[in-house]
Amino acid sequence: MSSRREFLTASLAATGAAALAPRWAAAQPKSMTVVHESSFIKPFDEYFVKTLSPEYEKLTKIKVNYETVSVGSMLTRLTTIVETKSGPEITATGINWPHLFDPSLVDVSDVADEIGKKLGPWHDNIYDAVVVNKKWKALPWGNIGQLEVYRTDWFKQAGVTKFPDNWEDLLAAGRLLKKAGHPFGFELGHGFGDNHGWLYPLLWSYGGREVDKDGKTVLIDSSETAAAVDFCRKFYKETMFEDVLGWTDVNNNKAFFGEQISCTNNASSILEVGIRDFPDIAKVTDHALNPQGPKGRFHVFNAQSHAILTHASDQAAAKNFLRWLYDDKQLSRWLVSANAYYAPFLQKYDNHPMWNAEPRYIPYKECLKTSRLHGWPGPPGHQASESVAKYVVVDMFAKACRGDATKDVIATAATQLKQIYKAKS
Amino acid sequence: MAVRPAELARPVAGRPLTLRSLFEREGVFSWVMLSPGVLFLLAFVAYPFFYGIFLSLQDRRVATAGVFVGLANFVTLAHDAVFWQVTRNTFFYVAVTTVFKLVGGLGMALVMNQTFRGRNLTRAFLLLPFIVPTALSTIAWMWILDPTFSVVNWLLVHGGVISSGYSFLGNASLAMWSLVVVNTWRGMPFYGITLLAGLQTISPDLYEAAAIDGATTTQRFLYVTLPVIKPVLVIVTMFSVIFTFGDFQLIYALTHGGPANATHVFSTWAFDIGMSAGQLGMGAAVALAILPALAVLIVGLTFYLRRE
């Protein structure tokens, strides 16, 4: 370029071409995009990309792209999609997200009814997660359960032949195992799932609650919560080691395969990875329901669902795709590819052959009955999510474990919850 | 005859005003050249900043319209014990890492300014922490700080210094100090390379003159080196403080603010409130809480640069 005029002309031409590019792209064949968090079960994602998407394209000429985001970042991605009103037409949701993103999600009650009639009825507890103001805002395909994952060989060596059914018995087993050099490792740090996975159930099983059904009365300051906190401190001190206080979600998996711990709380992904990469450890790994406390047995609910975003230009096409995907012919195969990692909420699938392939996954189906959303029995809305994001319950237990007084940690949690739920002091 | 710029820019009488002649004007052409940069700054710096202020004054949840609440979010924060813990954490983290990086970086620059065999290779290696993506180096640090697999613990235990390994990320105090070490490791080359540039501007004549006057090594450092590199030292410190205030990746990946908020700083807490809880207004308010401290720094930097 010999002059600045030529440089400017070239720059303007390049800018013009860039500005026009999206218009050309819009003229491409019809397609839609589904965004998912990368599954811990690789065949699940692969089955969609290599089998389901091509089948649908062959049938309808609509290409369905499958976008994945890294584990733990789906909520951030969805927030960006909703705030910019652009991007994928269909999104995966988890936990209580349909409540958070309600105004940006299409009512899919009609499709849910059809699926319920064919494969259902739906399990009762799924309504709390996906039905907002009497409208289905997402279509659930399965729950990712958080259960006890333990080493059968070390438990047997310590004289524990059956996994303990209640927290006190698990504490007794933990003492023996720690003494034998195989401590427990339950996350008490700021991860996104494996901490809540056992601390909410522990709180509930002792009768403790964050807030009442009305979403206004904070209930955390109770003798039941104090009993749960006292138990947790004892459980931590006598069965674990200090590092669990700083663990995030990767650490317990790493410690389990590093043969550092004998028991943790996790999804079935540990066994899945074990079968693939650590077959010797996988042989001596099993699952059990969370132990029960004086007020029952609980698990956290993590309903994985699909929702259609209101910015989708062709919402009917998106619905038709989900209708096809949730047909038994497709859904059944897709769930099988996930090796029972996702426990479906449809009663017709309660005895699905997928549960026969590996009996060690069956507790993940059984836990559905006793699963509750974080913040239960309070409403599953923004405040529940704020409490989770601020680690109110997790930090209450973690502070007690590091040595703070029970009344102090409960008082701090109560102050935080009153602020979150705008409750009267 | 001297031609003034204004005369250059003025169209010649009788000549039609074409696009070509318009671009020949210095004033017009300068603005055309400047506009991409200005637009970029407006779009990616000014707009998010003012939108952040706008959000912080609203009760704004994700996917819903905001309601103007004035300074209510800031009042709520002022009554939140975690906010004050986060404030303490942030200032401790920034202050300690800055001192470490400043002292270490200066030492690094002084060493790299010497003549020795393999100097260029050493310079390249010392820059590695700065070059490696933070996410990758943080994974390496996760292994180094892991209680079971930590090479530090292995050395200490096998060296007979301790009987069992430290919980670098599980213990509240050790977790914060671990983050300080990692941030110092990553940030020191920025100081080192910038101060080295400053050191290389010092004329050897000054050192020779000082040596002839009988100045010791310490005196040469205090009365020749330091005064000359002082402007660079101030600027690099200011920038480093600003970057460290906004540090996110390292803390988020290593501790996510745990254990029990012991390592939460403004950026990680703001992210949790804004993105994980969907409280965009409150999240923006947390992020803006750093503003007064940063504003003082920026104003200080501006005044210093003008004075110099």
CA atoms within 13 A on the CB side of B145: 27
Whether A308 contacts chain B with CB within 8 A: no
Interface of A with B in 104-133 (CB under 8 A): 104
Superfamily of structural domain A147-299+370-420 = Periplasmic binding protein-like II (3.40.190.10)
Residue B209 forms part of a structural domain: yes
User: Which amino acid makes up residue B258?
Assistant: G
Query: Over 70: is that where the pLDDT of A323 sits?
Result: yes
Structure tokens at A168: 């006190």
Look at residue B167 and tell me if it is in a domain. Answer: yes
Helix spans in A265-404 (H): 269-277, 279-283, 315-325, 328-337, 362-366, 382-389, 392-402
Same fold, A31-144+301-365 and A147-299+370-420: yes
Would you tell me which residues 90-149 of chain B have a C-beta closer than 8 angstroms to some C-beta of chain A? 142, 146-149
Once rounded to an integer, what is the mean pLDDT over residues A75-94?
95
B210 is a domain residue = yes
Note the pLDDT of residue A29.
Answer: 45
Could you please state the CATH topology (level 3) that the domain comprising A31-144+301-365 is classified under: D-Maltodextrin-Binding Protein; domain 2 (3.40.190)
pLDDT, residue B12, reads 52
Is A188's pLDDT higher than 60? yes
Question: Mean pLDDT score of chain A, rounded to an integer?
Answer: 92
Q: Confidence class of residue A305 from pLDDT cuts 50, 70 and 90?
A: very high
Q: Which of B275, B280, B282, B286 to probe by mutation at the A interface, max A CB count within 10 Å?
A: B275
- Cβ within 8 Å, pair A246-B175: yes
Tell me the C-alpha distance between B42 and B44, whole Å.
6
pLDDT in tens, A369-384: 999 999 999 999 999 9
A395 contacts chain B (CB < 8 A): yes
| Chain B: closest CA distance from residue A249 (Å) | 10
pLDDT of residue A25: 43
- Tell me what pLDDT residue A117 has: 96
Residues 374-393, chain A, touching B (beta carbon < 8 A): 382, 385-386, 388-391
User: How far is the C-alpha of B179 from the C-alpha of A370, rounded, in Å?
Assistant: 40
**pLDDT of A12 over the 60 cut:** no
CATH number reported for the structural domain that contains residue B105 in this entry: 1.10.3720.10
Write out chain B's pLDDT in tens, 308 residues: 444 544 444 555 556 778 888 888 888 889 999 999 999 999 998 999 999 999 999 999 999 999 999 999 999 999 999 999 999 999 999 999 999 999 999 999 999 898 888 888 888 888 888 888 887 888 899 889 987 778 888 898 888 888 888 899 999 999 999 999 999 999 999 999 999 999 999 999 999 999 999 999 999 999 999 999 988 998 899 889 989 998 998 999 999 998 999 999 999 999 999 999 999 999 999 999 988 888 888 888 778 777 76
Question: Which residues are paired to A306 by β-bridges?
Answer: A92, A139
Distances (CA, A) of A46 to A68, A277, A344: 11, 19, 19
Average pLDDT over residues A211-216: 95
- Cα distances from B231 to residues A25, B201, B204, B282, in angstroms, run 51, 12, 19, 38
Residue B80 falls inside a structural domain = no
- The answer to whether position B13 is within a domain reads no
Higher pLDDT, A122 or A20: A122
At residue B116, the pLDDT reads: 86
From the list B23, B168, B256, the residue facing A190 with the nearest CB is B256
Which residues in chain A have their CB less than 8 angstroms from residue B260's CB?
245, 391, 395, 398-399, 402
SS3 state of residue A266: strand
The model's pLDDT over A120-158, given as tens digits with 9 standing for 90+, comes to 899 998 999 999 999 999 999 999 999 999 999 999 999
* 3-state DSSP assignment of residue B153: helix
The nearest alpha carbon in chain A to B169 belongs to: A246
Domain count, chain B: 1
Q: What ranges do the domains of chain A cover?
A: 31-144+301-365, 147-299+370-420
H or E segment at A372?
strand A371-372
What contacts B132, CB < 8 A, 6 or more positions away? none
Range of the domain at B251: 87-267
> Which of A182, A190, A232 has the highest number of chain B CBs within 10 A, making it the mutation to test binding with B?
A190
Sheet of strand A285-288, all strands in order from the earlier edge strand to the far edge? A263-266, A147-151, A285-288
C-alpha distance from residue A377 to each of A294, A370, B158 (Å): 18, 13, 51
- pLDDT for B4: 53
Tell me what pLDDT residue B299 has.
86
Residue B212 lies in a domain: yes
Q: What share of chain B is helix, strand, coil (3-state, %, to 5)?
A: 70, 0, 25
Residues of chain B contacting A86 with CB distance shorter than 8 Å: none
Q: Does residue B196 lie in a domain region?
A: yes
Residues 6+ apart with CB under 8 A from B221: none
In a domain, B21, yes or no: no
